[in-house]
């Protein structure tokens, strides 16, 4: 379990919170709770309901999407300072991917209530948070496009399918 001071030092390094002033960040830090995850343990699966986002404090997390049977496509592997689950935080939609720990991990849980408090307490801090979030969204959108292209190229190479001369 991290002390509030340690949590604050960590949050300072998180990209999402880099433009939030110290007092607001301390208040936000106080509203986060820790969630340990053992190696191999699944946090949630695609399709499950959830209203929280998670920030990786320690360890490595694998984000995957079921493909067939026991096989899943790895979408990303993230570490300390990265976050996930934000989509369900905002639109309450079912989880879009499955999350599991690749190594023993600790997560910080940011729920809807903490989000509401941040917005009410400091609209400026909330704006900084949302601006950083949008920047990360854009990067992830680009990365998803690249992944689709890579998967398509893999399929063509693996099957020997030749589209050039069709």
Partner 1 sequence: MNEADTSSTPPRRAKLELLVRHDSDEGFDVRQVGSATAFVQSRPQRVPAESWELAEMPSRMAGQPSYFLKNTTTDRFLLLTAPEKFLWEQMDGQTSMQDIATAYVLRYGAFDFDIIPALMRKLQRAQLLTLTPTSRLRKALARNRRRPLVKAIEAGLTALERINISSRNVQRVFAAMYRFGGFLLFTPIGVVACLLLAGAGLVAGVKLWREGGDIVAGFGGHALQGVLMVKLLFFLTVAAHQIVHGLALIHYRRRVREFGFTFLHGFVPTFYVDVTDIFMTSRRARVVTAVSGAVVHLVLGSAWFLVALFSPLGSFIQAFAAASGMIQWQAFVVALYPFCFIEMDGYHVLVDLLGVPTLKQEAMSWAGSLLRRGASWRIGRQEALFAFYVVLSTLSVAAFVAFNVMLIVHARS
Angle between helices 112-121 and 123-159 in degrees, nearest 10: 140
Angle between helices 22-31 and 123-159 in degrees, nearest 10: 60
- DSSP string across the chain: ---HHHHHHHHHHSGGGTTS-HHHHHHHHHH-EEEEE-TT-EEE-TT----EEEEEEES-EEEEEEEETTEEEEEEEE-TT-EE-HHHHHH-PPPSSEEEESS-EEEEEEEHHHHHHHHHH-HHHHHHHHHHHHHHHHHHHHHHHHHHHHHHHHHHHHHT---TT-
Q: Is 33 in the site for partner 1 (CB under 8 A)?
A: no
Tell me the closest approach of the beta carbon of residue 44 to partner 1, in angstroms: 13
Of residues 79-138, those binding partner 1 (CB under 8 A): 100, 102
Q: How many whole angstroms separate alpha carbon 161 and alpha carbon 139? A: 31
By beta-carbon proximity to partner 1, the closer residue of 91 and 166 is 166
Among 16, 57, 64, 114, binds partner 1 (CB under 8 A): 64
Q: Is 52 in the site for partner 1 (CB under 8 A)?
A: no
Number of residues in contact with partner 1, rule: CB under 8 A?
29
Q: Is 74 in the site for partner 1 (CB under 8 A)?
A: yes
Among 1, 3, 70, 120, binds partner 1 (CB under 8 A): 70
Q: Is 48 in the site for partner 1 (CB under 8 A)?
A: no
Among 1, 3, 67, 120, binds partner 1 (CB under 8 A): 67
Pick the piece of the chain touching partner 1 (CB under 8 A) from 8-16, 23-31, 134-142, 150-158. 150-158
By beta-carbon proximity to partner 1, the closer residue of 103 and 121 is 103
Chain positions contacting partner 1, by CB under 8 A: 39-42, 62, 64, 67, 70-74, 77, 100, 102, 150-151, 153-162, 165-166
């Amino acid at each position: 379990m991290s002390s509030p001071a340690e949590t604050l030092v960590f949050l300072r390094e998180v990209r999402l919170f880099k433009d939030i002033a110290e007092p607001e960040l301390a208040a936000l830090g106080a509203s986060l709770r820790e969630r340990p995850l053992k190696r191999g343990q699944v946090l949630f699966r695609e399709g499950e309901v959830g209203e929280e986002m998670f920030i990786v404090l320690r360890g490595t997390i694998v984000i995957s999407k079921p493909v067939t049977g026991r096989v899943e496509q790895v979408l990303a592997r993230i570490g300390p300072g990265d976050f996930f689950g934000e989509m369900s935080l905002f639109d309450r939609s079912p989880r879009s991917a499955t999350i599991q720990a690749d190594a023993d991990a600790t997560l910080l849980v940011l729920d809807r209530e903490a989000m509401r408090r941040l917005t009410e307490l400091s609209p400026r801090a909330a704006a900084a948070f949302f601006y950083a979030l949008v920047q990360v969204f854009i990067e992830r959108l680009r990365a998803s496009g690249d992944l689709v292209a890579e998967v398509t190229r893999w399929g063509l190479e693996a099957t020997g399918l030749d589209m050039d001369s069709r």
